[in-house]
Amino acid sequence: MSLDRRYLEKHGAQWRVQMKVPLSLRAVVGKAKLVRSLKTDNLALANKMRWSVVAEFKKVLEAAEKGLTMKGNALLEEALKFRREWEIGKDDPLAFADFDEEGPVADSHQVLSGFASDRAIEIAETIGPEEASFYHGIATGELTPLEMMVGTWLEESGCKPRQKLDYARAVSKLSVYMANNKKSASIESVNKRFAGAYVSSLVAEKVHPKTINKDVSALSSYWRWLEKKDFASANVWSRQSVPKLRTPKGFQKRAYSDKELLILLLAPGPAFLKDAIFIACLSGLRIEEIARLRVKDVSSNSCFDIGRAKTGAGERLVPIHSQLEEIVQRRVTSKHADDYLFHELPTPDANSAMERSQKISKAFTSFRRKLKVDDVPEGARQSRIDFHSLRRWFVYTAGQALSQGATGFTPWTIAQLVGHERESLDLSMTMGRYHGDDNVDALRLCVQAVNLPVKI
C-alpha cells in the first residue's frame, strides 16, 4: 500500500513539503507556493514530519488573508479620502467652515475634527476600538499607512525591477505580521522594540538568516527614505540584522571538472538548453547575456557584441568559437535583426522582475540534478556548482592553456573577454589602465585556446 503523499513532493533525492498559495494571496505572500525541505529521502519519515510544516504554512496563509483584507479595506479607503479633505482644510480654514448670517462659526479644522470623531465613535461601536483608533489616526494625518509610500519610494530608488519586487514584498510581509498581531499597519506604529520583535519572530519561525537580513535591509532602506521625507523620526531597522550561518569549511563555488562537463555535454536535453550550455562553455558569457543575445548582436567579424552588461567592463566583443558557428548560424537563420537567438524564452515586460534567463536556469538545475551532477557539502544550503560554473570552467581552461604555453594573449585578455574589471588584477595601473583593450585577434586566440573535453 502506497503512503499518503499529500503536501509532499520529491526534490532531487529528498522529500519536501509544498503548499500552493491561492492566486488572490500571491501578491502578499510573494510566491506561488510555499516550500520547505524535510532533508530526508525516507517517505515514511517525511509523512510524519510534514504536518508541523503544513500547520506553519496554513498560519502564513491565514496571516496573508488578514493582511490582504486590511490592504483592501473599505475603511482604510474611506479614511484616506477623508485625509485628503483634512489636508485641504489645513491649508484653507474656510473650505469646510460652518457659516451663519454673521459669518463663520466653525473653521475647517473644527468641522472636520468633529466629523472624524463622530465617525470613529460609530466604528468603535460597530467594528471595534482598534479599528476606530486606526481610522481616526489615518483620517487626521496622525498615522500613515505602512504601504502608502512604497510606490513613491521605489520610483525614486532607481532599483532594478527584481529588487523592487523584493523590497515591496518585505514591506508587505511586515504588514501581514502587523495585521496578524492586531497592530495597526502604520509607519508610526513601528518603533525599535516592535522591529526587534518582528525579527525575533522570523528567527523563531526558522526563516533562513539570509532571507531575514535581506528583508531587514529592504525595510532599513525604506525607513531611511521615510526619515529623509520626514515620515519617520529614526531608522528603527538599523542593527536589526541577525548573524549569518557559518559557511561550511571549504565551501566555495567552483568550475566543473572535465568528467562532470562530459556528462552535461553528452546527455540529451532540450535544444535551447544544450545550445546555451555549449555557448557558456566556449564564450564565458553570463547566463543573462546568453538569454538576451539578438541577431544584431552577432557582428560581421564573427563576434558576440555584448552591449547590455552589469558593468562598463561587461560591454565587450567576444569572438565566436569555431565550434559554436553551427549553433549560432542555426539560431540567426530566417530571423530579423531584433529577434532573439533564443526565441524559446519568454520575453518579460520592461518593468518585469523576471529575467529572460530564468527558463534556462530552472531547466539547467533540473537537468543537472537528474544527471546527479551536484556538489552540496554537509550543512550547505547550495551546490558548489551551477550554470555559472560553466563560465568558471571557461576562465579556468583559458588560464590552463596559458600555463601550458599558449601564446598571443595574456591573463588580462581573459578578464576582458569575460567582462571583469582588469584593474582588479595585479599590475592594475600598468596593465589594467595604461595597457588598454586587446584587439580582436588576441581575444580570438584566447577563445580558440579553450577546447571542450569532447568534440561536438
Q: What are phi and psi of 305, to 5 degrees?
A: -100, 100
Q: How far apart are CA 108 and CA 114, in angstroms?
A: 10
| φ/ψ bin of 78: left (φ > 0), alpha (ψ from -120 to 50), beta (otherwise) | alpha
What is the Cα 37 distance to its own chain's centre? 20
Q: How far apart are the first and last CA of the chain?
A: 47
Q: Answer whether 298's CB lies under 8 Å from 325's CB.
A: no
β 8-11/14-20 pair status: antiparallel
| Extents of the domains making up the chain | 8-71, 74-139, 150-228, 258-448
pTM value? Answer: 0.60
Identify the pLDDT of residue 23: 66
Q: Is 341 exposed, middle or buried (0-12, 13-18, 19+ CB in 10 A)?
A: buried
Identify the pLDDT of residue 242: 93
Identify the pLDDT of residue 64: 64
Fold of 258-448: hpI Integrase; Chain A (1.10.443)
DSSP structure string for 13-52: TEEEEEEEPPGGGHHHH-SSEEEEE-----HHHHHHHHHH
Q: How are strands ordered across the β-sheet holding 14-20? A: 8-11, 14-20, 33-37
What is the Cα 352 distance to its own chain's centre? 11
Length of the chain: 456
Q: Answer whether 28's CB lies under 8 Å from 68's CB.
A: yes
Identify the pLDDT of residue 191: 94
> Average pLDDT of each block of 10 consecutive residues along the chain (456 residues)?
74 86 65 84 86 84 59 70 82 75 72 88 85 86 86 86 87 88 85 95 90 95 92 92 78 91 95 96 95 91 80 78 95 94 84 79 94 86 91 94 92 88 54 61 92 79
Identify the pLDDT of residue 159: 83
DSSP structure string for 350-369: TT-S--TTHHHHHHHHHHHH
For residue 371, give the amino acid letter. L
